[in-house]
Structure 1
Amino acid sequence: MKSVVKFSLLSAAIVAAVFSAAAHAAPGASDSPTLQRWQAGGTVVLGVRESATPMAYALGANEKFVGYHVELCEKVVRAIAPQAQLKYMVLTAQNTMPLIQNGTADFNCASMTNSLKRQDQVAFGLTTYVSEVRMAVAQQAPITSFKQLDGKKVSAITGTTAVQILRRYAAEHGIQFQTLMAKDQFEAFLLLESGRVDAFVLDDNMLAGVIAQSKHPAGYKIVGEVIGAEPIAIQFSKQDPAIKQAVDGAIRQMMANGEIERLYAKWYTQPIPPKQVNLNLPMGSTLKKLLAQPNDVPVEQFQP
């Protein structure tokens, strides 16, 4: 709202100077029926998750949805349609793509890898997170490298790219370990928590999230060299190019003015609700480079 008020008070002498920059973040309503509806005060449905800490998760009995990508989505919408009303819808990994495609949800604010296959179905914004495949171990465990997993037991989630990356790494480095597959991050972490495995391998942000929600967050740590990296971005319909232009314009402004870095620090290097746990995941060099040179390159062409 503040940016709209300030713009309305600008003198006619400088309107032309700022119009070009503003147009990149929020094209005129006439460019898109959807943007027109949003900018007129219509509802924007943000797809969220219940427990994908710290990207998108619920506080209480789904009373409030928070997280790095949730707040990013909210700021993007406020930039391109300040009058829009926000509504939150819980999505799952299985229904996200079809619900974005058919317009039931306008944005997916959770964590999803940008891939060529998915680009056939939805549009991705500029990359705003880079997930790095690492592992969680008990705080006192001596494991610091994936090479130390030889002869040990590891938990992973069925169907994730982390599993493929882990197997490729093992083959390339000649190490062998037993893999116990789980249906989700909570089941996989329980295997670690109960001592049935020595390490749990997954994307670092998801590892940090499940540790933060555990009974004893201080009892676990994320270690190991990065064995794989994937670009993460918010998604929306690909049927309206004006939305892609508006979203990317808003994200570029947030990258340029330091807002993305502030949001990242808030959710990854400071205490977060509900337990006020600090995930201690400083921004990596790959994401820092992307903030300086933004792109929406899919994982198949991604070079960290």
Structure 2
Amino acid sequence: MHRLASAMLALAWLAPAAAAAAEDPSPTLKKIAETGVISLGYREAEPPFSYKTPDGKITGFSMELCDRVVEAVRKHLKLDTLKVDYVPATSATRFILVKSGKIDVECAATTNNAERRKIVGFSYPHFATATQYVTRKADNIAKVEDLAGRSVAAASGTVNIEQLNALNREKRLNIGVMPTKGGNEAFDLVADGRASAFVWDGILLAALIAQAPDPSVFTLSTDTLSPPEPYGLLVRHGDEEFRSVVNAALKAVFTSPEIDSLYKTWFMSPIPPDGMNLNLPMSPALKAAFAEPKDYLE
């Protein structure tokens, strides 16, 4: 009888606590509702996903998807208006900014993997790419093994530099890894002959090559350092209510004709400011991912 009473007393204390926890609002939605502001993280130079044009406009494929997210959040919170605060983020600062709440959604090209899911949340995937490298054609670098003993650049805080270090150890290539603050700096090292290669996401390298004064100078590797991995929008870890609002907004776009129009705009057409055109058709795998959006958990 004493044990039964103790158990019932414990349940009596736990039940209100559990109910309160269940009713706790999303910290992100709570902050947005109270301030009337949503903070979006963007990149200064990561076309076609997220970048700032010379006239100061912040744009890109990921930014347009985030525009749809902003409207979905406004409707969810029943707000008349919702102000957007744009916060610059880099490969090195993006996770800190999301974890600290200074960014509500990071709208760029961030790879989703198991290690990162321990510290941030990811939306449904909105693109997928493998890690490749760019070299100068004149250097005749045909395969990964040709990088042995050379200097290779990679941006700090990316999965690419981790993959480069792992490959270097595994194959004992004696590569001199050159960490940089961002992609443009690393690409310049290759263009100037100070690095033999730059390791990054294939799609982002293709964009940098297309923007170069003479794209024919460079070669994008056919070798890859990873299988294709998905990009996702970043949100705060554990805030499932907010993540569900983000995912619902993306699903509405992905499963409608709008996604074909958006993709054509950013990957099959000239984009600002200089008319770069990647001419990259949507892959069957990406089409399938858009048709049935789901969390990437590998």
Q: TM-score by structure 2 length?
A: 0.74
- Cα 1:193–1:177 change in 2 (3 A) is farther
Counterpart residue type for residue 128 of structure 2: V
Change (3 A) 1:239 1:60: same
- 1:23 paired residue number: none
User: Of 44, 47, 51, which residue of structure 2 is paired with 1:53?
Assistant: 47
Q: Which residue is equivalent to 1:72?
A: 65
Pair 1:128–1:236, CA change in 2 (3 A):
same
Which stretches of structure 1, 4 residues or longer, exceed 6 Å deviation after superposition? none
Deviation for aligned residue 1:194: 2.0
1:193 aligned residue: 191
The residue identity in structure 1 corresponding to 2:178 is: M
Q: Report deviation, 1:42.
A: 2.4
Amino acid at match of 2:109: S
The correspondence of residues 140-289 of structure 1 with structure 2, limited to 5 A, is 143-146=141-144, 148-149=146-147, 154-158=152-156, 160-166=158-164, 168-169=166-167, 176=173, 178-184=175-181, 185-228=183-226, 229-238=228-237, 240-289=239-288
Alpha-carbon distance between aligned partners in 1 of 2:147 and 2:281, rounded to the nearest angstrom: 25
Tell me: CA distance 1:97–1:143, structure 2 relative to 1, closer, same or farther (3 Å): closer
Q: Does the 8 Å contact 1:124/1:235 carry over to 2?
A: yes
Identity of aligned residues (%): 31
In 2 relative to 1, CA 40–164 (structure 1 residues): closer, same or farther, beyond 3 Å? closer
Does the CA contact (< 8 Å) of 2:130 and 2:224 recur in 1?
A: yes
Q: For structure 1, which segment, 160-169 or 247-256, has the greater mean C-alpha deviation from structure 2 after superposition?
A: 160-169
Structure 1 position 104, deviation (Å)? 2.4
Cα distance in 1 for residues equivalent to 2:101 and 2:150: 46
User: C-alpha deviations, 1:114-158, integer Å up to 9, x for none?
Assistant: 233433333211111213111223356655543554676543335
- 1:275 and 1:218 map into 2 onto residues whose CA distance is 17
Distance (Å, rounded) in 2 between the aligned partners of 1:169 and 1:92: 24
The residue type equivalent to 1:116 in the other structure is: A
Deviation of 1:169 after TM superposition, in Å, equals 4.8
SS at match of 2:154: strand
User: Looking at CA atoms only, which structure, 1 or 2, has the larger radius of gyration?
Assistant: 2
SS of residue matched to 1:110: strand
Shift of 1:248: 1.0
**SS of alignment partner, residue 202 of structure 1:** strand
Q: Structure 2: give runs of 5+ residues left out of the alignment.
A: 1-23, 76-80
C-alpha change, 1:263 and 1:226, in structure 2 (3 Å) is: farther
Using a 3 Å threshold, how does the CA distance of structure 1 residues 160 and 242 change in structure 2: closer, same or farther?
A: closer
Task: Trace 1:84-99 onto structure 2 (pairs within 5 A).
Answer: 84-99=82-97
Change in CA separation of 1:278 and 1:105 when aligned onto 2, cut-off 3 Å: same
TM-score, with length taken from structure 1: 0.73
What is the DSSP-based 3-state SS (H/G/I as helix, E as strand, rest coil) of the residue aligned with 2:109? coil
Aligned partners of 2:63 and 2:107 also within 8 Å: yes
104-113 or 76-85: which moved more? Answer: 76-85
Give the aligned residue type for 1:256: T
Q: Structure 1: where are the runs of 5+ without partners? A: 1-29
Q: What is the deviation of 1:66?
A: 0.6
**How many residues get paired?**
268
The residue type equivalent to 2:48 in the other structure is P
> Residues 75-112 of structure 1: CA distance to partner in whole angstroms, max 9, x if unpaired?
22223425423221212333333332333222111222
**CA distance 1:177–1:194, change in 2 (3 Å):** farther
- What does the per-residue CA deviation read over 1:236-255, in whole Å, with 9 as the maximum and x for residues that have no partner? 23454221111111211211
Measured on the aligned residues, the alpha-carbon RMSD in Å equals 3.3
* Aligned pairs (5 A) from 1:74-153: 74-81=67-74, 83-138=81-136, 143-146=141-144, 148-149=146-147
- Paired amino acid for 1:79: A
Deviations 1:151-171 (A, max 9, x none): 765433355322343455567
Residue in structure 1 matched with residue 5 of structure 2 by the alignment: none
